[in-house]
């Protein structure tokens, strides 16, 4: 539920005033004063800054400064918000940013899908070749100790499995053979990332749905 613009403006003024009660930081204060509260959506407080003053946003985004601002917002407004700084101070700034995020995500999805298709082609279209590809890819994959990197690896491999499944269907394989190939490779993937097979299978169905032509 988005808060009205005037409420957001007043709320931001309270945040800025609360920041000024803390240690003196003229550069931060000036940057905050150039911002205007736009909308509060869920746990995100969107504030806008004019294009010609956009360089000041880096002052606010510095980790220590941002922690100070978010702490001030919690003190002033009673809720912990994530501060998001946008270019522009008009009513359409939030929607423009949302459109940019959607476009970025769609381009990333398409890039990942094209990459998966190319790699699946290089692994040939057979389930056995895909199994070998999974094994070699995991052996070369960096940062296996980082959970988010394993999730990235899983999604990349799931996209390739989608491509191979479609290739086998196009070649007229029996449903039993397809299900067997899927089960074997999804099971291998779940073992690689130490995740429950049912969760990996659920993620596969989600990735498969995402990669369907719009």
For the ranges 45-54, 141-150, 168-177, the maximum mean pLDDT occurs at 45-54
Angle CA 112–148–159, to nearest 5: 25
At which residue do the structure tokens 């299900």 appear?
179
Q: What is the pLDDT confidence band of residue 173, given thresholds at 50, 70 and 90?
A: confident
State how far the Cα of 47 lies from the Cα of 50, in Å rounded to an integer: 10
Q: What is the pTM of this model?
A: 0.49
Contact 211, 155 (CB under 8 A): no
Average of per-residue pLDDT across 141-151: 86
Instruction: Please indicate whether residue 158 or residue 171 has the higher confidence score (pLDDT).
Output: 158
Strands (E), 42-173: 44-49, 82-87
Residue 119 pLDDT exceeds 70: no
Residue 185: burial class (beta carbons within 10 Å; 0-12, 13-18, 19+): buried
Q: In the predicted model, is pLDDT for residue 81 greater than 50?
A: yes
d(CA 150, CA 20): 43
Domains along the chain with CATH numbers: 5-91 (3.30.300.180), 103-210 (no CATH)
Alpha-carbon dihedral of residues 59, 64, 68, 69, nearest 10 degrees?
40
Residue 185 has pLDDT above 90, yes or no: yes
Is the per-residue pLDDT at 121 higher than 60? no
């Amino acid at each position: 539920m988005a808060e009205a613009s005037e409420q957001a403006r007043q709320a931001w003024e309270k945040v800025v005033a609360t920041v000024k009660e803390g240690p003196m930081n003229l550069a931060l204060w000036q940057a905050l004063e150039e911002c205007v509260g736009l909308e509060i959506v869920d746990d995100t407080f969107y504030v806008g800054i004019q294009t010609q003053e956009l360089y000041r946003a880096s002052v606010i985004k510095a980790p220590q400064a941002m922690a100070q601002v978010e702490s001030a917002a919690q003190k002033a407004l009673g809720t912990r918000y994530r501060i998001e700084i946008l270019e522009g101070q008009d009513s359409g700034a939030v929607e423009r940013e949302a459109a940019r995020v959607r476009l970025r995500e769609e381009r990333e999805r398409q890039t990942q899908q094209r990459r998966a298709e190319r790699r699946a082609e290089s692994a040939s279209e057979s389930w056995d070749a895909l199994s070998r590809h999974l094994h070699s890819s995991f052996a070369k994959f960096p940062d296996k100790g980082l959970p988010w990197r394993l999730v990235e690896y899983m999604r990349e491999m799931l996209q390739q499995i989608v491509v191979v499944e479609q290739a086998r269907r196009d070649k007229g394989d029996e449903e039993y053979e397809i299900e067997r190939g899927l089960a074997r490779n999804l099971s291998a993937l779940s073992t690689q990332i130490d995740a429950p097979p049912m969760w990996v299978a659920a993620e596969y169905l989600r990735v498969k749905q995402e990669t369907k032509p719009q």
